[in-house]
């Protein structure tokens, strides 16, 4: 079996994976599909992931597959089961783990970040990180469980109430999942702000009531003409640049919650009008990874209530991982996956 190892400096190499006996509580997963995440793009360019990356390592933390073999004490999955994997492994001992904030765990380990992950034919995974997928769920959709779990954590923090208006900034894979989750949360009006026309069209198909081009005119005016209010009750930013952050504050109604969900580049700063925060009584929230939401995400995927067929636009073999990462940054893609087998 083989994996595509990240060597640092934008370099990869396909190498054999070390085969070994499974520990008692371990599962060997034959990887079916692994998504390219914005975090992978950051790591590719030399930034850290959810934890420090020490090459050589196999990246890929958004993946699904089929259980190939299990350790002696494993009881929750069996060979042949279809599974999604939660990559984040918390220490359970630090201050943050013991006070309900495990996403800030000081001993965080992550499959596909600090240890070999899903850009490989097989992956060794602790039983605790495996979650069952229904037989009728595509394994491509199963690979979207981890980003959906992260979105669920963000949606929880945004606190959408039934009847709220919601503006989602950015129509990439995350933004289009946020559109669907906002609909499930009871939003009365959902506006997607996205400059790429085909993404706006897909956003409307997936539940947005309106899709605007932020370059067609001031976002506040476009939203005001739709909602007849100065902005939306909840704004979810899913792009990761300062222009999108500016849009998010422009799109916010008085008393709004602004969720800055995207993973920004390191050392990115945005000037903030304290007067605007004061006058509008804005609530500004961040969101990090997926503490305790992976099972809920798998349940949503198994229910068929989140649609992924329009989100996955490109697929690459294992050997073309670098091409896949580059494609993920281009406007003609939404979600790029690697299919190692």
Active site residues: 39, 42
Torsion of the alpha carbons at 30, 34, 39 and 40, rounded to the nearest 10: 80
Question: What is the DSSP code string of 49-68?
Answer: -SS---SSEE---EEEEEEE
Could you count the other beta carbons within 10 Å of the beta carbon of residue 73? 10
Is the bond leading into 56 cis (omega within 30 degrees of zero)?
A: yes
Distance CA 291, CA 95 (A): 15
Dihedral sign of CA atoms 252, 258, 260, 261 in order: negative
CB 103 within 8 A of CB 291: yes
Q: Is 27 exposed, middle or buried (0-12, 13-18, 19+ CB in 10 A)?
A: buried
Which one-letter DSSP state was computed for residue 118?
S
Buried b / exposed e across 244-273, counting CB within 10 Å, b at 16+? bbbbbbbbbbeebbbbbbbbbeeeeeeeee
Distance CA 223, CA 242 (A): 20
- Quickly tell me which residue has 């509580």 as its tokens: 25
CB 248 within 8 A of CB 237: yes
Count, residues in the chain: 341
CB 322 within 8 A of CB 177: no
């Amino acid at each position: 079996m083989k994996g595509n190892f990240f060597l640092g400096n934008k370099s990869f190499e396909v190498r054999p994976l070390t085969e070994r006996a499974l520990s008692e509580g371990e599962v060997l997963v034959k990887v079916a599909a692994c998504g390219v995440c914005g975090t992978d793009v950051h790591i590719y360019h030399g930034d850290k992931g959810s934890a420090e990356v020490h090459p050589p390592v196999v990246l890929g933390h958004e993946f699904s597959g089929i259980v190939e073999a299990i350790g002696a004490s494993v009881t929750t999955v069996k060979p042949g089961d279809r599974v999604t994997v939660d990559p984040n492994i918390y220490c359970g001992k630090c201050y943050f783990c013991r006070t309900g904030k495990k996403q800030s765990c000081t001993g965080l380990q992550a499959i596909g970040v600090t240890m070999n992950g899903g850009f490989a034919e097989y992956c060794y995974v602790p039983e605790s990180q495996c979650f069952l997928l229904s037989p009728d769920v595509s394994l491509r959709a199963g690979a979207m469980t981890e980003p959906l779990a992260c979105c669920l954590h963000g949606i929880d923090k945004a606190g959408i109430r039934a009847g709220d208006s919601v503006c989602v900034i950015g129509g990439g894979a995350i933004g289009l999942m946020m559109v669907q989750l906002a609909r499930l949360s009871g939003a009365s009006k959902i506006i997607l702000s996205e400059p790429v026309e085909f993404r706006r069209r897909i956003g409307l198909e997936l539940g947005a009531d309106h899709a605007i081009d932020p370059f067609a005119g001031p976002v506040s005016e476009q939203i005001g003409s739709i909602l007849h209010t100065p902005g939306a009750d909840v704004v979810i930013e899913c792009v990761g640049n300062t222009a999108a952050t500016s849009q998010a504050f422009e799109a916010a109604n008085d008393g709004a919650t602004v969720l800055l969900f995207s993973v920004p580049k390191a050392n990115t700063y945005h000037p903030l009008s304290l007067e605007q925060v004061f006058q509008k009584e804005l609530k500004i929230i961040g969101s990090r990874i997926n503490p305790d939401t992976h099972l809920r995400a798998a349940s949503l995927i198994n229910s068929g209530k989140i649609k992924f067929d329009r989100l996955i636009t490109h697929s690459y073999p294992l050997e073309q991982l670098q091409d896949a990462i580059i494609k993920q940054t281009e406007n003609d893609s939404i979600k790029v996956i690697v299919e190692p087998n």
